[in-house]
Amino acid sequence: SSKWLSGVGMLKKLSGQDPIYANRKHRDPIQFDNFARLVFASNKPPIIEEDTLAIWRRILPLNLPNVFKGEKDIKNYVDTILSPEELSGLLNSALEGLQQLLDKGDFSYQGSYSDRSRHYTVASDPARVFVEERCDVGLDFKILKSDLYEAYVQFCNEEKIQLSGESQFGKELRRVPGLSIGDKQYQEEGVRVRWWLNIALKIPEPEAGEIDMEV
């Protein structure tokens, strides 16, 4: 879900070679070292509260963007996937990947830990990344709600992530850590307009070679 995941202590223990203590029903507790890899699937991953190297070096986000419907719909896909030919191909691919993992000693991922953090956070809390990268915040800033949402739509399209409605975007905006915003309505030329307060879009930096001149 898109709720906050505030406690990651057990996740770090299970992936950090720490001794794990487990209770057994009607038997003595045991201690063991976990060697299994943890795999989670979610339409929208939970928001991780902790932002440290300790957590991001443990997480390897994998994006699965393909949707098989319409012309791409595979009829009787279970029978197709479970055919001997497909199962043999999957096994060969898995064994090849396993050998690469054993040779390298770790999973392959192009990018730094900060790249992992951004990749994950864009999927779990896109409004937060939008504010950090595209917005200025402070008491002197304000912006039309429609203008900010339009910029957010563009951001989501660029990142190829599911877009939330304007009302939901407002809720996500208010929960961004460290962001304190307000809103207000004004009558302008007989039309009611809505503003966000304490936030505005960043002014793009001039590209190299451009000269800012006033005539």
Return the domain boundaries, the chain.
4-116, 126-201
215 residues of the chain, pLDDT tens digit each: 456 676 788 888 888 878 888 898 889 999 998 888 888 888 888 888 888 888 888 888 888 877 777 777 777 778 878 889 989 999 999 999 999 988 988 777 767 888 889 999 999 999 999 999 999 999 999 999 999 999 999 999 999 888 889 999 999 999 998 899 999 998 877 888 999 999 999 987 766 555 555 54
Degrees, nearest 5: CA angle 56-123-12: 25
Gap between the Cα atoms of 207 and 177, Å rounded: 31
Sheet holding 191-201, edge to edge: 135-144, 191-201, 182-188
Gap between the Cα atoms of 156 and 153, Å rounded: 5
At the topology level, CATH places domain 126-201 in Arc Repressor Mutant, subunit A (1.10.10)
